[in-house]
């Protein structure tokens, strides 16, 4: 639940993360948790071998997510106390001990969510970029080969006489899992006028076919999903397309 067991929104995320965890726990998933002296869990980092990520490369690990709890709800705000720095160091030591040649991170070039600037401060170097999404890495050996982002290859097609709602889901990100669940629920309210397509991108072949891990499309239009749009918002967008059907 991304340390957000206090959040009502998280209750809408379904069991996708649990299923993802059960698949990944024997496939090299690494997790470090930051715990206070009085046993509060206040931060985490999750990393996977690069072949389970949205990038490609050789013998590297990829940070899906680093998060130090920053809201006043729940355990409270623990950011900017050096916890993030210690989490990323712990992950680096772990993947080095597994023989990896480097650690890769993704971040945003704008000052929201996981910022590329924070990784730069921790010694990570920008290696690839797509729109506001930045790929960075820290090689541990001279023969490490720079990773690349996997790019979008195609998008869903319109279905004549219907509205299509296509939700790509990998399972690792609870915020994206919320979007999937909301879209599925909203689509079901329009009967046979709307076709809901679930695309399971945990399957590597499927992910490589599309080059999309987590996303929502209504017909051919991609809907922004970070932060998750509300249920009402998604429903309104579908309704607008349904109205245009002949
Ligand atoms: C990024 C994050 C993990 C950093 O953890 P943190 O515990 O707050 O950071 P630290 O206190 O360890 O910071 C280490 C250094 O980075 C600096 N720093 C902190 N926030 C920064 C920012 N937004 N940009 C650049 N540098 C930053 C600190 O000043 C500190 O510098 P120093 O080494 O010179 O003292 C945390 O802020 C966070 O969780 N942010 C939100 C990330 C998010 O949205 N995750 C979910 C994404 S799906």
**Is CATH 3.30.360.10 the right assignment for the domain spanning 9-149?**
no
| Ligand 1 nearest-atom number relative to CA 69 | 39
Ligand 1 centre to CA of 21 (Å) is 25
Ligand 1 centre to CA of 118 (Å) is 6
Is it the case that residue 246 has pLDDT exceeding 80?
no
pTM confidence score: 0.94
Bond into 227 cis (ω within 30): yes
**Domain parsing of the chain, residue ranges:** 9-149, 163-244
Q: What is the pLDDT of residues 123-170, one digit of tens each?
A: 999 999 999 999 999 999 999 999 999 999 999 999 999 999 999 999
Best residue among 3, 17, 87, 118 to mutate for probing ligand 1's pocket (most ligand atoms within 8 Å of CB) is: 118
Ligand 1 centre to CA of 69 (Å) is 11
Write out the CATH class of domain 163-244: alpha beta
Residue nearest to ligand 1 atom 39, measured at CA: 67
Q: Mean of the pLDDT values across residues 14-23?
A: 97
Best residue among 80, 92, 122, 134 to mutate for probing ligand 1's pocket (most ligand atoms within 8 Å of CB) is: 80
Q: What is the pLDDT of residues 158-216, one digit of tens each?
A: 999 999 999 999 999 999 999 999 999 999 999 999 999 999 999 999 999 999 999 99
């Amino acid at each position: 639940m991304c340390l957000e067991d206090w959040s009502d929104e998280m209750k809408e995320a379904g069991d996708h993360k649990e299923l993802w965890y059960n698949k990944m726990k024997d496939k090299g998933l690494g997790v470090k948790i930051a715990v206070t002296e009085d046993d509060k869990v206040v931060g985490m980092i999750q990393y996977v071998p690069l072949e389970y990520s949205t990038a490609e490369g050789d013998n590297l690990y990829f940070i899906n997510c680093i998060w130090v709890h920053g809201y006043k709800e729940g355990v409270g705000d623990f950011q900017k106390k050096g916890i993030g720095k210690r989490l990323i160091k712990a992950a680096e030591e772990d993947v080095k001990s597994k023989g990896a040649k480097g650690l890769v991170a993704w971040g945003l070039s704008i000052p929201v969510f996981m910022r590329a600037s924070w990784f730069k401060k921790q010694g990570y170097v920008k290696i690839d970029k797509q729109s506001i999404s930045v790929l960075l890495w820290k090689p541990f050996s001279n023969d490490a080969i720079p990773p690349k982002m996997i790019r979008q290859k195609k998008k869903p097609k319109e279905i004549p006489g219907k509205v299509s709602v296509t939700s790509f889901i990998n399972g690792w990100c609870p915020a994206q899992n919320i979007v999937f669940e909301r879209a599925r629920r909203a689509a079901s309210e329009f009967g046979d006028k709307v076709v809901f397509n679930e695309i399971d991108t945990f399957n590597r072949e499927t992910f490589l076919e599309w080059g999309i891990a987590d996303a929502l499309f209504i017909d051919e239009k991609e809907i922004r999903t970070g932060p998750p749009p509300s249920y009402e918002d998604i429903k309104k967008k579908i309704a607008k397309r349904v109205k245009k059907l002949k």
